[in-house]
Structure 1
């Protein structure tokens, strides 16, 4: 039985959480021994739809993915719900739907719809008051207190550091279970965030390859009083160049002989995904 996310956050170690986007990535993360995973809205947009992270994916499409992943693993799942997919009433429906699908925590941000990646320029944010209302709506809508609500502010890149800190304080006061100040510009800002908030709530940080993070590791976050280290796109950031290399080789030579020793085979994939266990389970229902 997996520990709940609330139990994991009650410990004293940083929780490293890889980003996933489908059943296969969830299986790989679970088998690697991680205790939680993050359904990244960006990676779902990248992998399933071939689109950038600019608010194109719908709530129904994310909820369907949550259900698929939950069918495959009991591992705690943090789900990126972008802006909550609308106003406070939309947020309530999103929370109800995603909780039913199997989300362990819902991460909501204060961007204006349609949102965009937190490390992209051109973001806009809603008012602090509107976001506080959406947090209250999310908390009222959840069926179980074990379903956590994480509040993210993108205001630092729009209105500056002081506004982001003020928003974080208000979001915590509104009842958010964790706080995420997106894209700090430097280490000093992260130190201030950790000192100001880290003893009162779990703090979240994105470790995005090519992003703006001043730190690169979970250990550095531990020292800064953060609790959740998200690696939202790392799997895809490695997969894409590997796939490009394979496709270039195939297009050039018509075979993959030079890459064969870097690949697994069908039997290994079936073993990884539990084909034998599935076949054994099916035998219970065979009658002569």
Structure 2
């Protein structure tokens, strides 16, 4: 198995929205804001090469939305999904499976692109299956008012219309062992219904792709929950459970949205689970 970090682009979001009820005087210690209260974020995806499969976990915002839309997110830097794939010798047509932790636009927008004459949409990975789960798919295609702006139908429905959509099994508890993708999946419901956290077993390590269960290092304290979460108290309990397991078992936490910290480990302290060590992806993916 080979693992590759894929940067699908950097952006900014309001720091207050990213930290919910936590005061700025606290969260800015780890996530400093600019003059407009915006903090640096990224869409760090993960590419898994194993046998004849090339699996991409999440794929960023994509590029089909309007300039007005992207203007809200203050994109910065020169990274893109295609340039990152090319850096490792791959093309999107090589991808066999696109696994989406959930269907918010910044995680699945790259799945769908304009067709050549911009009269409609097509899948951006023509040779891939797109993986979600039935419960989350229903949640996303019949969105509540709070999440409606994050579940964009043009990002979602063309996957089903293409015939390329597949669903993972849903466990009775919160852990699906040995999924069809070859990795375990932890299901979390606080951020959005049935978000999926992949657990990849790699060279004796467990790499946890944290998605929006732990967006950045700054979100390690339990009350530091995003304002975007639909069930913040549930996020708190899910995060507590997962971080305790991660500390007990020395998981390597791959941070999708932290622009400055790629992979971390955590440890138990008197204040709860906190940061242990920080690693670059090159430290771990050798």
TM-score (norm 1): 0.29
Greater strand content: 2
TM-score (norm 2): 0.29
